[in-house]
A and B are shown apart, each in its own frame.
Chain A
């Protein structure tokens, strides 16, 4: 009986885990991006959020992915990063 040597079937990568950003102490002066990922109930959910933010005096901007089935296009993420400081990604069926 001898040792068996196998070959690794994985990508042999080590996933890196990034720490979450610390939430800001205040929303003063911040713009919140509201991104609809494209599921059926996303608009309903974001409408409600938008209403709450408006009452709190926090400006918002609306964004939408072309489809829920794919990751957001880079251009969209860059646009959100340029125009807002915080983002809410809506998932709602």
Chain B
């Protein structure tokens, strides 16, 4: 390909001072310069190499990018304005073959490998593509004035959940897309409420804005796909007056790979993966789907988890069956479970010492979900802390035993729950007064039990569900493998 920056006939060398091989072959470059037309593009120091007629400062790496250089030194030969050969590193035989005896480098070793070009250092390539190449992105470009703050520009366009977002520039989007092998143009699904097609590229843009790292992309894509499962009823969850929003729970090796938190403060702030993966989903719903609070989102009060609510399960105890495996995912696989949930309510029990005591106590806490006298008004998540879990483990209870015992403990006499009982109008119809009533749907859907939290504290957490879950065939938690 003819190139206006390259000689019609002659040589180009791309080099950098910090490369020992480049330093070593300075005499070769000087020799070649005396014999032929030579241009040296220098990546880090315009005074290097010395003693040459034509050294071009390429610290901006534009020439290195266009020449597709991956290693320095790289020697390229041109004839008639076209590249006719190239070699990289130092290999005397190759250099002589390409440039003749002037490139023999007498006294140098016959071979020495080169160094990586600055243009292919981590994160640099995407910047160069954005500056000098074709990023291949399809999303509309939005120019922000020279004196304007890009973060404020995002606010002004309504792209934020209320917190600052990372401005989605091409280089950031390209880096994010580097976290997945899926094509940018692939449609992930239709995002409610507008049922707008969402491409991998749009997921990446919103993941950038949420603050994700590229390695979170497979998880973010898995979360979005799970949210679009018809059984998750994302549209209904979005427009409900109820508190609930998506609660994201991650299982499997990916949690360690991307550094998710399942320990101290697992449900709180401070971990980038936890915080930004949940936020990315919310931004996608907002920006791609058009789900805006006060518009289609009709929550009476909402909950802080609608900014982000994502955590990992503690899988450190091999005796504990993780949530994803309980829900059909093979051991060793990573998975996302999405639940329609409200905020966290703390549960304190510092007196129970046996599984039998603690399960009854937990049931009392779980009865408070929605209202102590309401049943089947949404399921729940129970997040068992290590100390509470230890009581069950030491008592020989595994997950299945705990689920069975909890289900029994969550039955209550209907007479305590009917309208007017205990002087409270809220409750269930009077016809149930003589029955034992289940609080939730059958296990394991009724209460999703997960393990998380720091080592100290006889606490657990209860996350109430959504009344939409009462029609199980239409709406339930969704679990999907992350691929």
Contacts and interface: CB of A to CB of B under 8 A. Distances in A.
**Same assembly:** yes
B237 A7 contact: no
A25 interface: no
A65 B230 CA distance: 16
A72 to B, nearest CB: 12
Interface string B167-206: 1111001000000000000000001001011100010011
A7 B202 CA distance: 9
A3 B202 contact: no
Contacts of A13: 194, 196, 290
A11 B159 CA distance: 11
Give the interface SS of chain B, mostly helix, strand, loop or mixed.
Answer: mixed
Interface residues of B, number: 44
Interface residues of A, number: 21
Contacts, number: 101
B146 interface: yes
B196 A8 contact: no
A6 B471 contact: no
B200 to A, nearest CB: 13
B36 interface: no
B143 A5 contact: yes
B233 A8 contact: no
A12 B201 CA distance: 13
Contact of B475 (A1, A7, A69): A69
B146 A7 contact: no
A7 B170 contact: yes
Nearest to A6: B142
Contacts of A67: 236, 468, 471, 474-475
A70 B236 contact: yes
Interface in B231-283: 233, 235-237, 240, 283
Given A9-B202, A12-B140, A71-B235, A3 B289 contact: no
Interface of B: 137, 139-148, 150, 153-154, 159, 167-170, 173, 191, 194, 196-198, 202, 205-206, 209, 230, 233, 235-237, 240, 283, 287-290, 468, 471, 474-475
21 contacts: A3-B144, A4-B143, A4-B148, A4-B167, A4-B169, A6-B153, A6-B167, A7-B142, A7-B170, A7-B205, A10-B288, A11-B194, A11-B196, A11-B197, A11-B198, A11-B290, A12-B140, A38-B471, A69-B237, A69-B240, A71-B235
